[in-house]
A and B are shown apart, each in its own frame.
Chain A
Amino acid sequence: MNMESMYQEIILDHYKNPHGRGLREPFDAESFQVNPTCGDEVTLRVAVADDKVSDVSYEGQGCSISQASTSVLTDLVTGRSVEEALSTMDAFVEMIQSRGTVEPDEDVLEDGIAFAGVAKYPARVKCALLGWMAFKDAVSRVEGAAR
């Protein structure tokens, strides 16, 4: 069945046992994002030290796709340079918005490749991007404050 290509084991694992969940101190910027059509929401904090993402913490509620995607995000960006994290984000966004035409690079996206199937469901693209939009917003706030 098609749905198995969306609900990959990796996604269900992250949904049931999310990584990095919970709001932590200290942090440099926080972003709250909501999907007004379904009510999914996430509050995400970013801490940056020496141009590195030192911590990402979050709370939220929503479907398996939005929550698992945020869990994968924390794995992919924590400990990386801001620049690396943003380029990983670009790769994830490109894959999700490709309607299934972009072959994901496992070296870059790791568990994130499990979301390739979501790209075929336009109604769920926003779910997969919710946490990433919060991350992007929070990072831009950190950078804005630094300038």
Chain B
Amino acid sequence: MTTTAASLDSPIDIETIRKDFPILSRLVHGDKPLVYLDNAATSQKPRQVIDSIVSYYEQHNANVHRGIHTLAEEATALYEGARDKVAQFINAPSRDEVVFTKNSSEAMNLIARVLGEAGPGFRVGPGDEIVITEMEHHSNIVPWHMLAERTGATVKWFTITDDGRLDLSTLDSVITERTKIVSMVHVSNLLGTINPVEQVIARARQVGALVLLDASQSAPHLPLDVTALGADFVAFTGHKMLGPTGIGVLWGRLDLLQELPPFLGGGEMIEIVTMEKSTFAQPPHKFEAGTPPIAEAVGLGAAVDYLTAVGMDRIAAHEHALTAYALDALSAVPGVRIIGPPTAEDRVAEISFTLEGVHPHDVGQILDELGIAVRVGHHCARPAVIHYGIPATTRASFYLYNTTAEADALVKGLAQVKKVFG
């Protein structure tokens, strides 16, 4: 059976898109075409992003915000231009609300750190509560453990249901008057679940708690509108959305970013420095100490341009169809257990599964020999994996350039796995 993307009536022209990604035409293990299904870990990069970085270094490289020479001005315009692009991409009310960080982890650590040092009102202290969920990535668990340890606050969480949804029946008892911050994932990297964040945000508003959303897995795959979402902070990372590594984004409401204390100290983030004391710049520079990742920001800007040109609505529709197709195909394989929502409803194409009798490491190894790249392990979401009574999963995660033929290749690969371990 030959299944092409066209048979899904895909809203995007996959053949053309695939040609933009040089790596997708490489072979692995000699003669095997690469089937890249590890997009939740990192995405591949289109020629346009790679070129933007090369061109930055070849034509415009200089430090930003200092120096009046031509290159410095060009580099600054490119760096700040990337901020404008990101602001528009997420519908931020102001470009000053877009802080560049190293990645999502740094963005979330930034908030967790400054909340422990903030003035009254926002400061997290003894007796205060921090709310997370059982399906968080470690990067949205560990910073809160660290904050709780530093301040004497307590960490509480929403649990997950067997079909991979948040159990919000405890909404009112988990989020209470003592809650200072709710930090939760928008889309789970392990389960693919799209969480009903509006419901949680509404409850947080009732009790005056702040809300941070980890959008690492939603920003690449779904239209993201921070104004409509109504959270206080949103974190995501460039490399999962066609951009380079080393660049992430913290979006925050301007009044909050103005109110909260700085994170790292150094160049860029100051107003006046004397030998006695320092005063700080306004956001976003207040949170961008030191020379920023300039080329990386330029690359992220190009990635945002690429995604916008294809259209986030169309990308989401293509991936939704792929999710349904891949879930059906995988569910039909005897011995496969899907870990996460069983249908494509409120779900992205990040599909974790186990194969009876074969450890995920062994599944991944044999798939690799066939040219199929998947991720195996606990995906930095160990508590969620443990919830399902398993040590690890195999995860196939798709993106705009993936096809139904690649889902078929995965299913065929699982037959090979069974042959070796049968």
**Contact residues of A with B, CB < 8 Å?**
1-3, 6-7, 12, 37-41, 61-65, 67, 121, 124, 127
Contact = CB atoms under 8 A, between A and B. Distances in A.
Given A3-B369, A38-B376, A63-B360, 16 more contacts: A7-B366, A37-B377, A38-B361, A39-B378, A40-B361, A40-B392, A41-B391, A62-B361, A63-B359, A63-B362, A64-B421, A65-B362, A67-B359, A121-B365, A124-B365, A127-B361
A62 B365 contact: no
Contacts of A39: 377-378, 382, 385, 391-392
Interface string B351-372: 0000000011110011001000
A27 to B, nearest CB: 24
A108 to B, nearest CB: 27
A2 B420 CA distance: 13
Most A-side CB within 10 Å, residue of B29, B385, B420:
B420
Interface of B: 29, 359-362, 365-366, 369, 376-378, 382, 385, 391-392, 420-421
Contacts of A6: 365
A64 B359 contact: yes
A71 to B, nearest CB: 14
Nearest to B368: A3
B391 A3 contact: no
B391 to A, nearest CB: 5
Contact of A40 (B29, B382, B391, B420): B391
A38 B385 CA distance: 11
The 4 closest A-B pairs by CB, nearest first: A63-B361, A63-B359, A3-B369, A38-B377
B181 to A, nearest CB: 27
B379 to A, nearest CB: 10
B358 to A, nearest CB: 8
Nearest to B420: A7
A1 B361 contact: no
Contact of B362 (A1, A37, A64): A64
A62 B365 CA distance: 14
A62 B391 contact: yes
22 contacts: A1-B369, A3-B365, A3-B366, A3-B369, A3-B420, A7-B362, A12-B420, A37-B377, A38-B377, A39-B378, A39-B382, A39-B391, A39-B392, A62-B359, A62-B361, A63-B361, A64-B359, A64-B362, A65-B362, A67-B359, A121-B365, A124-B365
A125 B377 CA distance: 15
A64 B355 CA distance: 14
A124 B378 CA distance: 16
Contacts of A7: 362, 366, 420
